[in-house]
Structure 1
Amino acid sequence: MRNFDFSPLYRSAIGFDRLVNLLEASQNQGSNNYPPYNVELVSENKYRVSIAVAGFAENELEITSNDNIMTVKGVHASEHNKINYLYQSIDERNFERKFQLAEFIQIKGAHLINGLLFIDLERIVPDTLKPRRIEIK
């Protein structure tokens, strides 16, 4: 694995600190592939994130959004840890996965079906920023 020093970018890139933070965050996330997920393009401005969360109940999952970062956490209830397994190969660890959302992306809802957590997202661009046609008189 390579390590990159982003400090020279901080000195010469004014106003791009958010981009540099994104690069650093993606590098620091490493190779954590748990839990697996898919990102679907449902329509032009609608997306769906599907996360495999088998073994988690709805009350053990949490979705938060802050500064265009969507965080999905799964924490098993304390009584879940009291099980005495003779053999265990089903992964039941707690997790926290972060997704960087583009500008104007909003979380519209979430639902849990058959061990998959579906999170619906939509890009809602304000009317003031949409292209508009100027009438020539």
Structure 2
Amino acid sequence: MSNLSLSPLFRRSIGFDRLNDLLNHAMQSDTPNYPLYNIEKTGDHNYRIVVATAGFNEDQLEIHLENQVLTITGKSVEEKSDTSVEFLHKGIADRSFKLSLRLDEHIEVQRADYENGLLKIELQRVIPEEKLARQIPIGQKVTQQLTSPEVK
């Protein structure tokens, strides 16, 4: 599936050229397996990202949003290892991480909470009024409709 052609889409659509870049990035990127996370749809315009961050304190976690890329980082504090302990099995991951997720242009971060080892980030799709469906009048410029009519 490395030769995905979006030419049929571009024949009937305008402005979707970024979609090709997004799909190429998704096909080339490895899916991170640490930390574990969920992406949940909680309503028509509401989403939640839940990241399992057991072993981290709030001050070890950072959330950064730049150019519609949400980046969650966890910085593990190196503790002095007890030399008297021998691990027979070490299954608890205690390492730093960086998780990046691309957001749609109208998705806004509403809040973030940390409870019981889970980082929860609430998102909402906020569509500006100028992007909502509207009737376009024929024979006059759209900008004229927004201004008050001149009195003659």
Q: Are residue 67 (structure 1) and residue 82 (structure 2) matched? A: no
TM-score (norm 2): 0.71
Give the gaps of 5 or more residues in structure 1: none
Name the residue aligned to 1:107: 109
Distance 1:112 1:130 in 2: 34
Q: Which has the larger radius of gyration?
A: 2
Name the residue aligned to 2:81: 83
CA RMSD of aligned residues (A): 2.6
Amino acid of the structure 2 residue aligned with 1:83: S
Distance 2:19 2:132 in 1: 23
Name the residue aligned to 1:124: 126
Name the residue aligned to 1:92: 94
Distance 1:16 1:133 in 2: 23
Q: By how many angstroms is 1:41 displaced?
A: 1.3
Aligned pairs, how many? 126
Change (3 A) 1:26 1:82: farther
Change (3 A) 1:133 1:35: same
Distance 1:86 1:5 in 2: 50
Distance 2:3 2:93 in 1: 35
Change (3 A) 1:75 1:19: same
The runs of at least 4 aligned residues of structure 1 exceeding 4 Å deviation read 13-17
Change (3 A) 1:90 1:18: same
Q: Are residue 44 (structure 1) and residue 38 (structure 2) matched? A: no
Amino acid of the structure 1 residue aligned with 2:129: D
Name the residue aligned to 2:28: 28
Change (3 A) 1:98 1:130: same
Give the gaps of 5 or more residues in structure 2: 137-152
55-64 vs 125-134, greater mean Cα deviation: 125-134
Q: Deviations over 1:36-70 (max 9, x none)?
A: 11111111111111011101111111111111111
Distance 1:53 1:60 in 2: 10
SS at match of 2:42: strand
